[in-house]
Chain A
Amino acid sequence: MSADAATHDDHTPSMWDWRRWVFSTNHKDIGTMYLLFAIFAGIIGGGLSGLMRWELAEPGLQVFNNGFWGNEHNYNVATTMHGLIMIFFMVMPAMIGGFGNWFVPLMIGAPDMAFPRMNNISFWLLPFAFILAVMSMFVPGAGGDMGFGGGWVLYPPLSTSGHNGPAMDLLILSLHIAGVSSILGSINFITTIFNMRAPGMTIHKMPLFVWSVLVTVFLLLLSLPVLAGALTMLLTDRNFGTAFFAPEGGGDPVMYQHLFWFFGHPEVYILILPGFGIISHIVSTFSRKPIFGYLGMAYAMVAIGFIGFIVWAHHMYTVGMPVDLKAYFVAATMVIAVPTGIKIFSWIATMWGGSIEFRTPMMWAIGFIFLFTVGGVTGVVLANAGVDQALHDTYYVVAHFHYVLSLGAVFAIFAGWYYWFEKIFGVKYNSLFARLQFLFFFVGANIIFFPQHFLGLQGMPRRYVDYADGHAFWNMVSSWGYVVMLIGMAFFFLVLIDAIIRRRKADANPWGEGATTLEWTLSSPPPFHQFSELPKIK
Chain B
Amino acid sequence: MAGHAAKHDYHLVDPSPWPFVGSLGAFLLAVGAVGNMKGLVGADHPLAFMYGDGSFGGLILGFAVVIYTMIGWWGDVIKESRQGDHTPVVDLHLRYGMIMFIASEVMFFVAWFWAFFEYAIFHEVRLDPGLAQWPPAGVETFNPWHIPLMNTLILLLSGTTVTWAHHALQHGDRKGAKLGLIFTVILGVCFTSLQVVEYMEAHFAFSMADGGNLYGSTFFMATGFHGAHVVIGTIFLAVCLVRLLAGQFTPEKHFGLEAAAWYWHFVDVVWLFLFAFVYVIFG
Contacts and interface: CB of A to CB of B under 8 A. Distances in A.
Contact of B207 (A183, A225, A240): A240
A-B complex: 10 closest residue pairs judged by Cβ atoms: A229-B111, A241-B207, A121-B19, A250-B214, A242-B217, A166-B38, A225-B108, A120-B19, A173-B30, A128-B27
A118 interface: yes
A531 B128 CA distance: 66
Given A186-B100, A233-B221, A225 B110 contact: yes
Nearest to A136: B34
Contacts of A159: none
A250 B13 contact: no
A117 B11 CA distance: 11
B182 to A, nearest CB: 31
Contact of B37 (A7, A169, A183, A244): A169
Given A128-B24, A170-B31, A222-B103, 6 more contacts: A23-B16, A114-B97, A229-B109, A249-B214, A532-B2, A532-B7
A339 interface: no
B164 interface: no
A194 interface: yes
Nearest to A258: B114
25 contacts: A20-B15, A23-B17, A23-B20, A24-B15, A114-B97, A120-B20, A124-B20, A128-B24, A166-B34, A169-B37, A176-B30, A177-B30, A187-B96, A188-B97, A225-B105, A226-B110, A236-B221, A240-B206, A243-B212, A243-B213, A251-B217, A252-B118, A252-B214, A259-B114, A532-B7
B252 interface: no
B111 A226 contact: yes
Contact of B108 (A173, A190, A226, A258): A226
Contacts of B38: 165-166, 169, 239
Interface in A39-58: none
B26 interface: yes
B281 interface: no
B92 interface: yes
Nearest to A193: B96
B165 interface: no
Contacts, number: 232
A224 B244 CA distance: 35
A21 to B, nearest CB: 9
Nearest to A191: B96
Interface stretch (B119-127, B152-160, B266-274): B119-127
A346 interface: no
A229 B112 contact: yes
A191 B37 contact: no
Given A248-B208, A259-B111, A128 B8 contact: no
Contact of B111 (A11, A24, A221, A230): A230
B116 to A, nearest CB: 10
A196 B12 CA distance: 13
A54 to B, nearest CB: 31
B19 A166 contact: no
Nearest to A223: B107
Contact of A250 (B11, B16, B111, B123): B123
B93 to A, nearest CB: 4
A228 B108 CA distance: 7
Contacts of A222: 103-104, 107
A25 B15 contact: yes
A221 B27 contact: no
A2 to B, nearest CB: 15
Interface string A109-141: 011101111101101110111011001000100
B208 A246 contact: yes
B12 A170 contact: no
B230 to A, nearest CB: 18
B14 interface: yes
B107 A225 contact: yes
B206 A242 contact: yes
Interface string A289-300: 000000000000
Given A165-B38, A241-B212, A531-B8, A177 B26 contact: yes
Contacts of A19: 15
B10 interface: yes
Contacts of B92: 195
Contacts of A22: 17, 20
A255 B118 contact: yes
B200 interface: no
A181 B208 CA distance: 33
A25 B12 contact: yes
A225 B34 CA distance: 21
Contact of A239 (B27, B37, B40, B115): B37
Contacts of A170: 30-31, 34
A173 to B, nearest CB: 4
A529 interface: yes
A129 B27 CA distance: 7
Nearest to B69: A121
Contact of A115 (B17, B97, B214): B97
Interface string B84-108: 0000010011001100110111111
A169 B34 contact: yes
B104 A242 contact: no
Contacts of A195: 89, 92-93, 96
A8 interface: yes
B18 interface: yes
A324 interface: no
A248 B127 CA distance: 9
Given A124-B20, A169-B34, A187-B97, A533 B7 contact: yes
B23 A121 contact: yes
